[in-house]
Chains A and B, each alone.
Chain A
Amino acid sequence: MEKHALPSLPSPVPNARSRRDFLRSAGLIGVTLVIPGALAACADGSGTDTLAPSYAKDVDNQSFGRPGTIVLNFKDDIGVLNYAYALEQLEAAFYLQVVATPYASISANELRVLTDLRDHEVIHRDFLKTALGNKRIPDVVPDFSSITFSSRDSVLSAARTFEDLGVGAYNGAAKYLVNTDYLVVAGKIVSVEARHAAAISDLIANRTRAFAPNAFDPAFDPKTVISAASAFITTKINVVNS
């Protein structure tokens, strides 16, 4: 079943569960109907390896890339969640640095905003890390050499880039998720990223249209997002099956 091209959609699938059942019966996906918490239960590696085991194998044997390359395989939810995990790692590392070395003359409000964003992104990162457990990708190594952390303009510009990218990334990746619980979680996170994006944009251009430049936010293709993010990441990341 071609899921992503509208014109070739068959008769409408009545609901998500039916689609999942169809996919399962067709043998197209692994066991994805996990109960909430099942991923976390496997976080220490002691749990049964029921979640898309082929993905971890792909990472381990580098069948899609050379050594040191992270592969985000969108063929199942684990790949999608790892995509989010990669982006959250990047954001968390950025705001940790921003708050550790704040730019000169930062206002109380701006420090509050940036500290909150640090907290939220670290929580997102650690949440996804815990949820993915031993299915998570290796750590993403950031490269912030293009950012001047002592410069307000540089920091806020980078922050806006990360937040807008995050919003578009989650919006564009949601359709790949098969498990409804994961979709709901992605929805819980993306609106917070959008709240961040608006706040940062308004710090850059107060009381202008910048906080929400369009009536509809973008929904970015994963390859586009990783291509843009790669300017801030040392680790090579490949996206497949998106």
Chain B
Amino acid sequence: MTNMTNASVLSGLDPEIGSKLLSRRQAITRGATVSASVAAGLRIASVPIALAALSRDAFAQGIPAPVVEVLNFALTLEYLESEYYNIGVATVGLIPAGDRTIFETIQGHENAHVEFLETTLGDLAIDKPTFDFTAGNGSGTGPYADVFTNYETFKAVSQAFEDTGVRAFKGQAPALQPYDAFLTAALTIHSVEARHASEIRRLRGNFTDVEPFYQGWITGNQTDVPGAAATYAGEENTTHLGINVLSLTSFGVNSATEAFDEPLTKAQVLAIVDPFIV
């Protein structure tokens, strides 16, 4: 791993964000050969991991720089999510017994995503930043100060992370378009993040509420999560390929916006998660 790689990942962004990430670098020993990585992927029956390792074999010159940039961006988000759920699931008294399976499932997935990205990137992987899940930039007293003591806050922040993750991966699809294996692998994560988002949204309505906030899909740019307006900005769009879908049916604007999720740029996503990164 080099500073140049990190600089590339963070190019065009607020330099302060870059320094925050870089300040938390850790030494990681990666002695495994590519072949061992392939074997590791197959051993845990993870097709994407094996695929990624194979793709590394295919690219003799290393993973293309644009792919490295996207994957490290994704890794930043997956680090955020995995640590969040690792702490949440380990916090005694936070998650009611009946809901633990939901969060343990998501926790397992986010950790698998981290493993996949770390395995794929090898030495090029960025190190895990230090996070402040109160969104206090390290103060520990941000707007979500009770995130690990108040279950409602924990669920709300979970929803914001998942919905942001969906939009983040979606926004990177064009950058991966020339690289089929990476595009496909990213999409197989993207849709899982959407499943998580749907489940948490519905959990917040106890699976019975019929209000838009608590359906599995995003209505307009609406949210009841305080401070999460940027996560939903733009979701009210109803025009795709120049076609305004609102005019196609009589179902109304809510359904028209719900039927399509919207991408976010990397800069937009990093601005959203910036308060969570020390």
B243 pairs with A198, CB closer than 8 A: no
Given A12-B61, A195-B195, A183–B177 Cβ distance below 8 Å? Answer: yes
Given A7-B58, A183-B173, A126–B263 Cβ distance below 8 Å? Answer: no
Given A40-B242, A131-B241, A187-B187, A124–B112 Cβ distance below 8 Å? Answer: no
Q: Does A62 contact B (CB under 8 A)?
A: no
Q: Does A66 contact B (CB under 8 A)?
A: no
Q: Does A211 contact B (CB under 8 A)?
A: yes
Report which of B170, B185, B203 forms a contact with A188, defined as CB distance below 8 A.
B170
Q: Does B184 contact A (CB under 8 A)?
A: yes
B241 pairs with A194, CB closer than 8 A: no
A167 partner residues in chain B, CB cutoff 8 A: 191
A215 pairs with B192, CB closer than 8 A: yes
B256 partner residues in chain A, CB cutoff 8 A: 123
B191 pairs with A122, CB closer than 8 A: no
Between B47, B189, B248, B259, the greatest number of chain A beta carbons within 10 A of the residue's beta carbon is seen for: B259
A211 partner residues in chain B, CB cutoff 8 A: 102, 105, 195-196, 198-199
Compute how far the CA of A207 lies from the CA of B95 in the bound complex, rounded to whole angstroms: 13
Chain A interface: which of B18-26, B210-218, B224-232? B210-218
B69 → A minimal CB distance (Å):
12
B197 partner residues in chain A, CB cutoff 8 A: 195
Compute how far the CA of A195 lies from the CA of B194 in the bound complex, rounded to whole angstroms: 5
Report which of B57, B199, B259 forms a contact with A198, defined as CB distance below 8 A.
B199
Q: Does B108 contact A (CB under 8 A)?
A: yes
A219 pairs with B177, CB closer than 8 A: no
Given A39-B241, A40-B242, A189-B260, A196–B216 Cβ distance below 8 Å? Answer: yes
Between B58, B243, B261, the greatest number of chain A beta carbons within 10 A of the residue's beta carbon is seen for: B243
Report which of A119, A195, A212 forms a contact with B251, defined as CB distance below 8 A.
A119
B210 pairs with A171, CB closer than 8 A: no
Which chain B residues (148-190) contact chain A, with CB distance < 8 Å? Answer: 166, 170, 173-175, 177-181, 183-185, 187-190
Q: Does A29 contact B (CB under 8 A)?
A: no
Q: Does A48 contact B (CB under 8 A)?
A: no
B108 pairs with A198, CB closer than 8 A: no
A206 partner residues in chain B, CB cutoff 8 A: 207
A190 partner residues in chain B, CB cutoff 8 A: 187, 190-191, 194
B262 partner residues in chain A, CB cutoff 8 A: 188
A-B pairs, top 8 by smallest CB distance, nearest first, are A37-B242, A119-B255, A215-B112, A194-B194, A191-B194, A194-B191, A195-B198, A198-B195
Sample (7) of A-B pairs whose CB atoms are under 8 Å apart: A12-B59, A15-B178, A116-B255, A174-B187, A184-B263, A195-B216, A217-B191
New A-B contacts (15) at CB < 8 Å, excluding given A12-B61, A187-B263:
A6-B54, A6-B180, A12-B59, A14-B178, A120-B258, A174-B183, A185-B241, A189-B259, A190-B190, A192-B260, A197-B198, A198-B198, A202-B199, A211-B102, A212-B195
Report which B residues bind A (CB closer than 8 A): 46-48, 54-55, 57-59, 61, 64, 66, 98-99, 101-102, 105-106, 108-109, 112-113, 116, 166, 170, 173-175, 177-181, 183-185, 187-199, 202-203, 207-210, 215-217, 240-243, 245, 248-249, 251, 255-256, 258-263
Report which A residues bind B (CB closer than 8 A): 3-4, 6-7, 9, 11-16, 18-19, 35-41, 107-109, 112-113, 116, 119-120, 122-124, 126-127, 130-131, 167, 170-172, 174-175, 177, 180-185, 187-199, 202, 206-209, 211-212, 214-219
